[in-house]
């Protein structure tokens, strides 16, 4: 019998502002790999830009690959020109929404309070929120990693969160797209602090939240990073754009 407190691992790809209709070929290649190779012990998620969600959700239907979004507005609907609601994302066939990615926190000034509101909107739409946290280079150098991540965890996660509707992604800002990664010990330390914070807040069920690591994950380092304590999957940027690379990361969950 499976342990209900054991997190379900996830390998998630964040395509960011990349992908045109021709990119559905990469999804086709990924689905082919997933259908023909040993089934991994993790879920598989691709978060393309909004423009591809409906087409890719239709394309992935019937496969084990899930489709998500990279952000949403916190409101259900209304006068928010150019924005997209969680309900619209659900309507397009997505299952997950990334909220609080460091590029949104930095480029759009998103506070943890706004991230929390977006996670609430995600939950209200019946979707799973992937809430991102992580320290900058300067914060790390100042020895503030656990303080910064702890504060983001406390303020970005809504009260109604549970393992069924919420995943946490620890992504050190300095590791994103740089080819630099923390040591496995550093990742394990931060993930252990996040796990303790979740258990302190949600009780034993805090053990069941999946904790993803993100930041320069690639096929050559995935197995080592995924084996760290309290790491339950990856959030992958650059290496998710090519099916062969992304599938090479999923290999960490094929026994
Ligand atoms: C990301 O942006 O979420 C990310 C982890 O990017 P990369 O894998 O390219 O470092």
Domain boundaries, the chain: 42-71, 99-225
Q: What percent of the chain has pLDDT over 70?
A: 100
Question: Distance between CA atoms of 72 and 92, rounded to whole angstroms?
Answer: 13
What is the reported pTM? Answer: 0.98
Residue whose CA lies nearest to ligand 1 atom number 1: 237
Cβ of 214 closer than 6 Å to ligand 1, yes or no, is yes
Question: Distance between CA atoms of 166 and 205, rounded to whole angstroms?
Answer: 12
In sequence order, the β-bridge partners of residue 213 are: 170, 234
Helices 145-156 and 184-202 pack at an angle, to 10 degrees, of: 40
Q: What percent of the chain has pLDDT over 90?
A: 98
Handedness of CA 190, 191, 196, 197 (dihedral sign): positive
Mean per-residue pLDDT over the chain, rounded: 97
> CA torsion 198→202→207→210, rounded to 10°?
-60
103-135 pLDDT, tens digit per residue, is 999 999 999 999 999 999 999 999 999 999 999
Over residues 126-148, the mean pLDDT reads 98
Catalytic member of 26, 103, 110, 171: 171
Cβ of 217 closer than 6 Å to ligand 1, yes or no, is yes
Cβ of 152 closer than 6 Å to ligand 1, yes or no, is no
Do residues 14 and 70 make contact, with C-beta atoms less than 8 angstroms apart?
A: yes
Instruction: Tell me what pLDDT residue 1 has.
Output: 60
* pLDDT level of residue 242 (50, 70, 90 thresholds): very high
Over residues 141-162, the mean pLDDT reads 98
52-99 pLDDT, tens digit per residue, is 999 999 999 999 999 999 999 999 999 999 999 999 999 999 999 999
Residue whose CA lies nearest to ligand 1 atom number 7: 237
Catalytic member of 96, 101, 123, 191: 101
Instruction: Tell me what pLDDT residue 255 has.
Output: 84
Residue 69 exposure: Cα atoms within 13 Å on the Cβ side: 29
Which tokens belong to 212?
């993803």
Q: Ligand 1 centroid to 143 CA: how many Å?
A: 23
* pLDDT level of residue 4 (50, 70, 90 thresholds): confident
CATH number corresponding to 99-225: 3.20.20.70
* pLDDT level of residue 2 (50, 70, 90 thresholds): confident
65 to 27, 30, 180, 210, 234: CA distances (angstroms): 9, 8, 28, 17, 15
């Amino acid at each position: 019998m499976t342990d209900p407190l054991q997190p379900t691992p996830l390998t998630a790809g964040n395509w960011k502002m990349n992908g045109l209709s021709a990119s559905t070929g990469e999804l086709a290649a990924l689905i082919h790999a997933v259908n023909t190779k040993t089934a991994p012990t993790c879920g598989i998620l691709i978060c393309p830009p909004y423009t591809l969600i409906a087409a890719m959700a239709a394309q992935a239907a019937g496969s084990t690959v899930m489709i998500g979004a990279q952000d949403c507005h916190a409101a259900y609907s209304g006068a928010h020109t150019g924005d997209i609601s969680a309900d619209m994302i659900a309507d397009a066939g997505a299952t997950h929404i990334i909220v609080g990615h460091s590029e949104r926190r930095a480029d759009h000034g998103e506070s943890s309070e706004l991230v929390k509101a977006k996670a609430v909107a995600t939950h209200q739409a019946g979707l799973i929120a992937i809430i991102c946290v992580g320290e900058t280079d300067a914060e790390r150098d100042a020895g503030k990693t656990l303080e910064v991540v702890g504060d983001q965890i406390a303020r970005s996660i809504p009260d109604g969160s549970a393992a069924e509707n919420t995943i946490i992604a620890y992504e050190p800002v300095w590791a994103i797209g740089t080819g630099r990664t923390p040591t496995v010990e550093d990742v394990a330390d931060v993930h252990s602090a996040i796990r303790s914070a979740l258990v302190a807040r949600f009780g034993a069920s805090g053990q069941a939240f999946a904790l993803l690591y993100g930041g320069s994950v690639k096929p050559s380092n995935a197995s080592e990073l995924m084996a760290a304590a309290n790491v339950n999957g990856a959030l992958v940027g650059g290496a998710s754009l090519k099916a062969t690379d992304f599938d090479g990361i999923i290999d960490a969950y094929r026994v």
